[in-house]
Every structure is written in structure tokens, then in C-alpha cells.
């Protein structure tokens, strides 16, 4: 597994492995005794069962004996692996928790992924220390925090290693056997899962008398079988025989606050508290799931099934967190959080921690939808009280992280088809996907807060999923996310509200911007309206409405469109821009190949795509320069140099071109071509702002790129020619045996890539070859390409290429 979080490790119960080892040990012994008895009986049959039938029986016994011995050996190996694994995991868990306890005991706060920070109380105490002394103390505390963080994160890595090794050992023990899936409760077990039993079990948990049998029953009721989970992941409904138990178990918490619910099980010994937290978290996800119903169909899961206080915390307006009061004793201090703000913040924190337990992969739950909605709204509030201000990022991230595994809920938060998210709002309220998604993108997440990133990762991962529902879920999510970004370009590209100094999305949230770019890369053909099904990874993401128009002369005199706006926002982060532009340039090369092969409309689509790329990059660089001018009235270069790291796009695209792929030649030429206007200073140079030209890396980073390929389209030519050659064989041979003025030229290598030195040094010969061999195809290409340049409307994907 990847490195676990602290909450995940706390929920681990190594004794489960010991218990399982005991079960396997008993089964191995039973099998051994049975094998011995059977062997003695069969051996004795030689004396009384003589003939063909007896021989057949004995041959069959030998086969069964061999298979059963394999099972017995696997069980015995499993016993050893499980017990060794339990010991190793327990040791790693204990070491981690000791490190956490030590850090917290020293007054530091420890994040779920091991980040250690100076606590709020310690920071407040620092304010009482005057002058330089405070700085010295703070530096010492920060150094100690780093030491604790290194130790805790190393311990987390050790936990992950111990878990991996235990899992591998157990898997190896049973490697020769057919694996089985998690099954639902048996008929006998289901007889125990009644509403009355649920009330008794919850009472036992509350008063601390729940025994192992009670906890086992709660786990059984709140654990979905693999087949049930798969049905939910396919978008289907699931009938559960244990539904009455789950409903009664949940209703028993209706009079409890979120804080009290999170404390259930705290009176139990051992890992009882962790088992209860995981079970309650699973229970909430199952009972609030509209796809889940009782066997008789009379009861269905949903938001209304959750405890009232949980519903309140998730549906109320989080502006309650901005409430303030004036402290009157011993010294009046303004902007202190009032009771409601403190109470609800604590309740949200408790619920977020609770829901981090259990099975986060259950799909389609309203509680996950509500956590996304509330996390987005919390991210948008700006309390004036320092105590609450420092908590909002944590509260929002906790909710987003807890819901990130529910791809159906994330899809609904992005798309909100048929108003499915309205159940997450207060009565009469309506969910707005654009504003909520924008709230998530515009909040400045700290480096240890990955909830938003984890929410969106599945969009790229599931782009080509074999399961139709999962592919559709990802494709629709991608289109909605891209649309929100494109329609809010004005703020995301360079002026995020509330951020200092006209910050862009990519500057504010580098990790999130890179996740967005990576997630949307597989959908570039869809978003650009590419109509060739063989270039589409996903068949459920539609196109953006407009690409933008371009005049082809490198100026900023163009019309922006949704697609160019998407590029503009993603280009605000160098790493995101590099990857996204690389993918788009590769697609441009593929369209050139198709155009050469006779697909005339491909040139039109290539122009719209590359025009949007150029518009987006030009506009973003121009916006950053303007913003730097506003930020540096005294002509300092520091902020400008930081912003101009966007120039890393150049080397990223050129060095990562992957030109050996077929067809991929357009990557390099398109990259240099896009940047050519910038190299030629078509965008206002920083010189006009009086910034020291020598102190910038404008020329250093951009000019070499121009010298690499300038605006020549050699690789683009190669793609078109290779495409033409695929339909008119022998075309490349003509280029490689071309005679001009008494000399024979070879313009391309055996892979169809241009011999750049030959072409560069013999430009006249190459141009004449193009005219003699490719005049008509290139004229057709240029005609369609020029139409694409100036046509801002993206044509919708043709019906024959739509999902069947």
C-alpha cells in the first residue's frame, strides 16, 4: 500500500490476524485428522474392494488427498504468515503512536499524514515574548517540529512496509489456491441482525459492555460484501437483509451530538474504540445511500436516515463559523469566536475525524455528497477570529478527503444532474455546481492538505474504464470540471479572490493544478471536439462550446474561447502546463497525420486545438507580466522572476516531446511554434516597465527554444507526409530519393522523422520537393487549417461517434 495515514494506522487491529491464524490452525488440524483417517481406510480397502471399481476409487482418493494436502499446507503457511504479520504490524503501530504521543506531549500538533506544526497555544504564548527573543524561540520550536515530523513520517513508512510484507506473506501462502471474495452474512447470521438486536448492541457500546461477539455482529452488519460494493460502483441498487439493523442502529444516535457520536466506543478496551468508529462510519455511508434499500423495498437509504445533528452539521450555512464575540475577562479582546462558532467548529472537526475511518470506497452515499458540499462552503468562508481562521482549511480538507473515495458523489458534486445534490442543502436550498467547485479551486490549500486533489484523481484514472458506468461517470465529471475552469478563467488565471498579489490558480495551488491537468489530459480530444473515435479514450465527455479564434500572426488580437481559457488557467503552473501542452501537441500531431491520410476535417480541428493552445499561453504570460507590473511599483524583479518560472514550459515541452512515438512529430514543432511569438517579443517585454532586463531569465529561457526549432513546421510536415504515405505508399520514398539540381536528397530517416540538418541546409530543395510531391494535399490542409484558425465555434461530436 501507499504510506498510510495516522488515523488509518490507529484503526488497524493486528489481533484480527492472530484470530484468523487461530481459525486457519484449527481447520488445518481438522483437515490433517480427516486425511489420516481417510488414508487408513483407503489403504485397508485393498483387502476387500478388489477390481476396477476399487482401483478407480483409490485413484480418485489419491487426487483428492493431494488437493486437500495443498489446502492444509496453505493454511499452515497462512498461520505462520498471519502471526508474524500481526507481530510486525503491532510493533510498527506502537512505534508510530509513541512518536505521535511524544510530539503531542511536547505541545505540537500532528497532522494525519505526519506533518508536525507549532500548536495554536504555543503560538499565542510566543506573542507574549518580546522582540528577537520570540524569533529565537520560534526558530527552535520549528526545528523541533521538523525533527518530530521526520521521525513520525519514517514510522508511517515502517507501518506501510510492515503491512505490505504481511499482506504479501499471506497472499504467497495461498498463492496456489483460488481466491474468494468477501461474502455477505449467512442466513443464520442474518437472523441475528434485527432492529431489536441493533438497539441492544448500541446500548452495549454506549455503556462500555460490548463484548467480542457484539463487536463482531456490528462489523458484520456494517461491512458490505464485494458483490454489493460492485453493484453500487456500477450505479445499481442493492437490497440488504441487514437494513433494519442498520436503520435502528443509526436511529439510536438521533439524540446525540456529533461530538458524542465520535466518542462512542471510548469506554471499550483494546482496539474496541477503533472498531466502533469504523463501523459507525460504514453505517452512515450505507444508510445514507439512495441506492441501498431493505429487501421488501419499503425503506431506502438517504440523507434523511442520518442522525439529526449530523444532518444539521452538514447542511447548515457554515457562515456560522464567522460569528464573533468580545472576550471580557481578564482583558477585553475583540474578534473572538462566539459560542455557536466554537460549538459547530468542534462538531465539524469531530465528524470529519469520525468519517475518516471505515471503508471510504463505498459509492453513492449522501453523506459523502454532503461532505463535499460543506467542505466547499467552509473553504469559502473567512472568519476574522484567528482560532477559527486556522481551522477552516482543516475542516474543509477533512470533509473532502473523507468523501474523495466516493467517485459517484464527486461526479454529482461536479455535475449535479437532476439536482441530486439539493438534499445536501438546508430545506428549500439549491446546490450550485459552478460556485461550489470554484470554492474548492480558489481556496489556498496547505501542502499537507490533499483532499481536493484526491477527489479529482479518479477522473483521469477512469477515463478508459471498461465498465460503462464508471467511464461515463469520469467523462461527465471531466467535462463539468473543464467547463467550470473555462468559465471562471478571469479569476483563476491571475486574480484569485482573497489571494495576495493577484495570484493565479497554479501559483496558489500548484499540486491541485497539476492534478487537474493530469486528470483532464485524456479528455483533450473530447474537449476539443475531435470527431475521430480512434483518438478518443473516453466516449462520454462532450466538447467545450468554443475554441477561440486566432489570426496566425502571433499577436494578441484574437478571440478567447472556452478551450483557450482552459489552457490559460492550466498554463498558470509550469509543471501542469508542460504536461498538458505536451498531451495537446501530441494530439495535434495525430490530427496532422489524419489530415495527411485524407481526413480533411482533421486540419480544421488541429487549427482550433493549437490556436487555443497559443491563445491560452500568450494570454497567461501577458496576464502574469501585467500582474507583476502592478505588484512591483518599485521595479523590483523578485516577484517577476518568480512568476516567470512559467518559461519552464518551454524546456518541458521540448525536452519531453517523445518524438520517437508514431505519430508524434508535431510535439516539438508545435511547442516551438506556440512560443515563437513570445520569443519574438510579441508580448510586451518587461523592459517597458523599467525592470532590469538582465535580471530576468526571459531571454535565457525562451531564446534557445526559438533556436531549437523556431517556427519551422518540419515535424508537422513529417506527420502530414506520413499520413499521406499511409494512403499513397511510396510518398516517403520520393522525398528520400528526390533529385534537385543534379543532387539526390534524403529528407527523412527510416522512421519518417525529418533529417533536420539536410532540410535546414538545403531549404530550396526541400520546398521544391513539397511543391512537386505534396502541393495539392498541402493546399487542402492549409485551406481547412485556416478555416479552423478563425472559427471559434467547436463543432459538436458527430452522432456516429457518440456513445452507443
Best CA proximity match to 375, nearest among 279, 441, 461 = 441
Of residues 328 and 551, the one with the higher pLDDT is 551
Q: To which residue does cell 513570445 refer?
A: 678
Across 345-350, average pLDDT: 95
Contacts of 685 (CB under 8 A, 6+ apart): 693, 698
Measured over the CA atoms of residue 608, residue 609, residue 614 and residue 617, the dihedral's sign is positive
What pLDDT was estimated at residue 330?
Answer: 55
Q: How confident is the model at residue 500 (pLDDT cuts 50, 70, 90)?
A: low
CB 330 within 8 A of CB 376: no
Query: Which segments of 571-711 does DSSP mark as H helices, in order?
Result: 574-596, 601-631, 638-643, 648-655, 666-679, 698-709
Range with the poorest average pLDDT among 287-296, 415-424, 440-449, 579-588: 579-588
Q: How confident is the model at residue 28 (pLDDT cuts 50, 70, 90)?
A: confident
What pLDDT was estimated at residue 552?
Answer: 56
Range with the poorest average pLDDT among 320-324, 697-701, 777-781: 697-701
What pLDDT was estimated at residue 17?
Answer: 86
- How many other β-carbons are positioned within 10 Å of the β-carbon of residue 452? 26
Residue 738 has pLDDT above 50, yes or no: yes
| Grid coordinates belonging to 668 | 516539438
Across 233-251, average pLDDT: 96
- Residue 572 is classified by DSSP as T
d(CA 277, CA 254): 16
Q: What's the Cα-to-Cα distance from 516 to each of 377, 410, 482, 484, 610, rounded to whole Å?
A: 20, 14, 9, 12, 20
What pLDDT was estimated at residue 646?
Answer: 44
Q: How confident is the model at residue 558 (pLDDT cuts 50, 70, 90)?
A: confident
What pLDDT was estimated at residue 429?
Answer: 92
- Give percent of the chain above pLDDT 90: 50
Query: Going along 312-416, which residue ranges are E strands?
Result: 324-327, 333-337
CB 524 within 8 A of CB 567: no
d(CA 616, CA 621): 9
d(CA 527, CA 545): 9
What pLDDT was estimated at residue 346?
Answer: 94
What pLDDT was estimated at residue 2?
Answer: 65
Residue 121 has pLDDT above 80, yes or no: no
What pLDDT was estimated at residue 21?
Answer: 86
CB 161 within 8 A of CB 7: no
Residue 702 has pLDDT above 50, yes or no: no
Of residues 365 and 161, the one with the higher pLDDT is 365
pLDDT in tens, 267-284: 999 889 999 999 999 999
Residue 105 has pLDDT above 80, yes or no: yes
Pairing, β 324-327 against β 333-337:
antiparallel
The CA-CA-CA angle for residues 776, 793, 513, to 5°, reads: 110
What pLDDT was estimated at residue 132?
Answer: 67
What pLDDT was estimated at residue 620?
Answer: 73
- Beta bridge partner(s), residue 117: 109
Most confident of the following: 167-171, 348-352, 549-553: 348-352
Mean of all residue pLDDT scores within the chain: 81
Q: How confident is the model at residue 42 (pLDDT cuts 50, 70, 90)?
A: low
List the chain domain ranges: 6-173, 199-313, 549-796
Whether the bond between 663 and the residue before it is cis, its omega within 30 degrees of 0, is yes
d(CA 461, CA 221): 31
Contacts of 60 (CB under 8 A, 6+ apart): none
Across 725-733, average pLDDT: 94
Contacts of 111 (CB under 8 A, 6+ apart): 6, 117, 448
Q: Cα-Cα-Cα-Cα dihedral of 122, 128, 133, 138, to 10°?
A: 20
- How many other β-carbons are positioned within 10 Å of the β-carbon of residue 508? 21
- Residue 240 is classified by DSSP as E
- How many other β-carbons are positioned within 10 Å of the β-carbon of residue 2? 6
d(CA 521, CA 62): 57
Range with the poorest average pLDDT among 489-498, 624-633, 760-769: 624-633
- Beta bridge partner(s), residue 300: 293
What pLDDT was estimated at residue 1?
Answer: 54
The pairs formed by 253-260 with CB atoms below 8 angstroms and a separation of 24 or more are 253/202, 253/280, 253/307, 253/310, 254/307, 254/308, 254/309, 256/307, 256/309, 257/309, 257/347, 258/309, 258/310, 258/313, 258/347, 258/348, 258/350, 258/351, 258/354, 259/346, 259/347, 259/350
| Grid coordinates belonging to 231 | 453493484
Residue 217 has pLDDT above 80, yes or no: yes
Across 556-575, average pLDDT: 85
Across 723-747, average pLDDT: 95
Best CA proximity match to 31, nearest among 79, 82, 71 = 71
Q: What's the Cα-to-Cα distance from 602 to each of 286, 567, 727, rounded to whole Å?
A: 48, 20, 15
Q: What's the Cα-to-Cα distance from 552 to each of 614, 660, 776, rounded to whole Å?
A: 9, 28, 21
Is 147 buried (19+), middle (13-18) or exposed (0-12) by CB count in 10 A? Answer: exposed
- Give percent of the chain above pLDDT 70: 76
Query: Which segments of 632-665 does DSSP mark as H helices, in order?
Result: 638-643, 648-655
What pLDDT was estimated at residue 135?
Answer: 74
Q: How confident is the model at residue 113 (pLDDT cuts 50, 70, 90)?
A: confident
Q: How confident is the model at residue 400 (pLDDT cuts 50, 70, 90)?
A: very high
Range with the poorest average pLDDT among 32-41, 67-76, 287-296, 468-477: 32-41
Residue 133 has pLDDT above 50, yes or no: yes
Across 791-800, average pLDDT: 63
What pLDDT was estimated at residue 781?
Answer: 93
The domain covering 6-173 belongs, at the CATH homologous superfamily level, to PPE superfamily (1.20.1260.20)
Of residues 113 and 378, the one with the higher pLDDT is 378
What pLDDT was estimated at residue 486?
Answer: 96
DSSP-based three-state secondary structure for 778: helix
Amino acid at each position: 500500500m501507499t504510506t498510510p495515514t495516522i488515523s488509518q494506522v490507529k484503526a488497524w487491529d493486528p489481533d484480527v490476524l492472530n484470530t484468523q491464524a487461530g481459525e486457519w490452525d484449527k481447520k488445518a488440524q481438522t483437515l490433517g485428522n480427516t486425511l489420516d483417517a481417510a488414508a487408513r481406510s483407503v489403504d485397508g480397502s485393498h483387502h476387500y474392494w478388489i477390481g476396477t471399481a476399487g482401483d478407480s476409487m483409490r485413484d480418485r482418493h489419491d487426487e483428492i488427498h493431494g488437493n486437500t494436502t495443498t489446502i492444509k499446507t496453505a493454511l499452515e503457511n497462512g498461520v505462520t504468515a498471519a502471526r508474524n504479520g500481526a507481530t510486525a504490524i503491532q510493533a510498527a503501530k506502537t512505534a508510530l503512536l509513541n512518536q505521535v504521543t511524544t510530539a503531542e506531549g511536547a505541545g505540537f500538533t500532528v497532522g494525519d499524514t505526519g506533518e508536525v506544526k507549532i500548536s495554536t497555544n504555543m503560538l499565542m504564548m510566543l506573542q507574549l515574548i518580546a522582540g528577537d527573543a520570540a524569533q529565537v524561540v520560534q526558530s527552535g520550536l520549528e526545528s523541533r517540529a521538523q525533527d518530530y515530523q521526520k521521525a513520525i513520517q519514517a514510522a508511517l513508512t515502517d507501518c506501510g512496509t510492515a503491512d505490505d510484507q504481511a499482506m504479501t506473506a499471506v497472499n504467497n501462502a495461498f498463492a496456489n489456491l483460488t481466491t474468494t471474495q468477501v461474502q455477505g452474512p449467512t442466513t443464520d447470521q442474518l437472523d441475528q441482525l434485527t432492529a431489536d438486536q441493533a438497539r441492544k448492541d448500541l446500548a452495549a457500546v454506549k455503556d462500555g459492555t460490548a463484548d467480542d461477539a457484539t463487536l463482531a455482529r456490528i462489523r458484520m452488519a456494517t461491512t458490505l460484501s464485494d458483490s454489493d460494493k460492485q453493484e453500487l460502483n456500477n450505479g445499481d441498487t442493492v437490497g440488504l437483509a441487514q437494513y433494519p439493523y442498520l436503520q435502528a442502529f443509526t436511529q439510536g444516535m438521533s439524540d446525540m451530538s456529533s461530538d458524542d457520536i465520535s466518542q462512542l466506543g471510548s469506554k471499550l478496551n483494546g482496539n474496541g474504540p477503533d472498531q466502533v468508529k469504523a463501523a459507525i462510519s460504514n453505517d452512515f455511508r450505507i444508510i445514507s445511500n439512495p441506492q441501498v434499500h431493505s429487501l421488501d423495498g419499503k425503506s431506502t437509504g438517504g440523507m434523511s436516515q442520518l442522525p439529526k445533528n449530523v444532518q444539521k452539521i452538514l447542511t447548515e450555512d457554515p457562515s456560522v463559523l464567522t460569528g464573533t464575540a468580545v472576550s471580557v475577562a481578564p482583558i477585553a479582546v475583540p474578534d473572538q469566536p462566539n459560542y455557536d462558532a466554537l460549538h459547530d467548529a468542534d462538531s465539524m472537526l469531530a465528524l470529519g475525524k469520525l468519517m475518516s475511518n471505515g471503508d471510504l470506497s463505498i459509492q453513492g452515499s449522501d453523506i459523502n455528497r454532503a461532505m463535499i458540499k460543506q467542505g466547499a462552503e467552509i473553504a469559502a468562508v473567512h472568519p476574522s477570529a484567528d482560532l477559527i481562521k486556522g481551522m477552516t482549511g482543516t475542516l474543509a480538507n477533512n470533509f473532502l478527503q473523507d468523501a474523495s473515495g466516493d467517485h459517484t458523489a464527486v461526479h454529482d458534486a461536479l455535475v449535479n444532474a437532476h439536482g441530486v445534490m439539493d438534499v445536501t442543502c438546508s430545506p428549500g436550498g439549491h446546490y450550485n455546481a459552478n460556485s461550489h467547485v470554484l470554492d474548492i479551486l480558489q481556496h489556498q490549500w496547505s501542502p499537507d492538505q490533499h483532499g481536493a486533489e484526491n477527489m479529482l484523481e479518479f477522473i483521469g484514472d477512469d477515463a478508459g474504464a471498461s465498465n460503462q458506468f464508471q467511464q461515463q461517470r469520469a467523462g461527465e465529471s471531466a467535462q463539468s470540471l473543464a467547463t467550470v475552469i473555462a468559465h471562471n478563467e478571469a479569476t483563476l488565471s491571475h486574480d484569485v479572490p482573497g489571494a495576495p498579489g493577484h495570484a493565479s490558480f497554479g501559483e496558489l495551488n500548484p499540486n491541485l493544478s497539476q492534478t487537474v491537468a493530469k486528470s483532464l489530459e485524456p479528455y483533450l480530444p473530447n474537449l476539443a471536439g475531435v470527431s475521430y473515435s480512434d483518438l478518443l479514450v473516453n466516449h462520454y465527455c462532450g466538447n467545450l462550446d468554443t475554441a477561440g479564434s486566432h489570426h496566425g500572426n502571433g499577436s494578441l488580437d484574437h478571440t478567447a474561447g472556452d478551450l483557450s481559457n482552459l489552457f490559460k488557467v492550466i498554463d498558470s503552473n509550469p509543471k501542469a502546463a508542460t504536461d498538458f501542452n505536451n498531451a495537446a501537441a501530441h494530439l495535434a500531431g495525430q490530427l496532422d497525420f489524419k489530415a495527411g491520410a485524407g481526413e480533411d476535417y482533421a486540419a480544421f480541428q488541429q487549427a482550433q486545438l493549437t490556436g487555443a493552445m497559443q491563445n491560452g499561453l500568450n494570454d497567461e504570460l501577458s496576464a502574469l507580466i501585467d500582474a507583476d507590473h502592478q505588484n512591483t511599483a518599485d521595479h523590483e524583479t523578485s516577484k517577476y522572476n518568480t512568476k516567470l518560472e512559467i518559461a519552464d514550459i518551454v524546456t518541458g515541452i521540448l525536452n519531453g516531446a517523445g518524438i520517437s512515438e508514431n505519430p508524434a512529430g508535431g510535439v516539438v514543432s508545435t511547442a516551438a511554434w506556440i512560443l515563437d511569438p513570445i520569443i519574438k517579443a510579441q508580448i510586451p517585454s518587461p523592459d517597458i516597465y523599467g525592470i532590469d532586463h538582465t535580471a530576468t531569465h526571459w531571454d535565457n529561457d525562451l531564446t534557445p527554444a526559438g533556436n531549437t526549432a523556431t517556427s519551422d513546421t518540419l515535424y508537422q510536415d513529417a506527420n502530414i507526409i506520413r499520413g499521406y504515405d499511409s494512403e499513397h505508399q511510396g510518398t516517403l520514398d520520393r522525398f528520400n530519393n528526390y533529385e534537385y539540381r543534379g543532387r539526390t536528397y534524403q529528407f527523412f530517416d527510416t522512421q519518417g522523422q525529418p533529417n533536420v540538418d539536410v532540410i535546414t541546409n538545403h531549404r530550396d530543395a526541400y520546398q521544391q520537393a513539397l511543391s512537386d510531391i505534396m502541393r495539392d494535399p498541402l493546399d487542402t490542409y492549409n485551406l481547412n487549417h485556416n478555416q479552423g484558425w478563425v472559427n471559434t465555434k467547436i463543432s459538436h461530436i458527430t452522432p456516429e461517434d457518440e456513445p452507443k
